[in-house]
A = this chain, B = another copy of it.
């Protein structure tokens, strides 16, 4: 398998954790989102990923864009250890936590969005950082409420083994810390994130530990 990756992309970070948890060998192909005007925008890369986003996973003849689609694919084709629980209610809970991050927080703070704010709307650095923190803090407070309210929360977001929800949470928390978001009103989120980062599969997937890290 090959994974088109950028060290700091939190969408790719999710997939790197999945590959590590499942102990799947995979070649990383770096796609630098800032160099050459954005390598993801090249005609060659767009053949693999028409939306010009990372990640892209290649597995034989199968080419997959979108991190959650890739994680579900890896879970279906390499079921051990599972990244989703077995029961439909549990699976729905894990997916809804994952999507609360991957749909409601992350897309608003993508590089291309921050660029649009600056270039097209003339938003200054301070207001742009406030935008970033607003969506992270609002979104993660929702995740905190979901986790704190439920007996299904364990050492990790759902029970005592990592699931797709944790794969989305940890990269989002990495970004939250990087931008100085306020996290002191979300103790469950902070605890689960810390528990995940004790696992080598999460640690090895971190941006600083990638071959293309700067």
Contacts and interface: CB of A to CB of B under 8 A. Distances in A.
A125 interface: no
Interface string A140-160: 011111100100000000000
Given A73-B91, A95-B72, A145-B46, A66 B123 contact: no
A23 interface: no
Given A66-B100, A103-B66, A107-B108, A52 B142 contact: yes
Contacts of A107: 103-104, 107-108
A36 interface: no
Interface in A27-75: 46, 50-53, 61-62, 64-66, 68-70, 72-73
Contacts of A62: 88-89, 92
B100 A103 contact: no
Nearest to A88: B76
B113 A121 contact: no
Contacts of A134: 116, 120
B64 A96 contact: yes
Interface residues of A, number: 51
Given A68-B99, A93-B64, A99-B69, A51 B104 contact: yes
A163 to B, nearest CB: 13
Given A70-B92, A92-B64, A95-B69, A120 B116 contact: no
Contacts of A194: none
B46 A99 contact: no
Contact of A53 (B93, B104, B106, B130): B104
A46 B53 CA distance: 33
B51 A100 contact: yes
A64 B53 CA distance: 28
Nearest to A112: B138
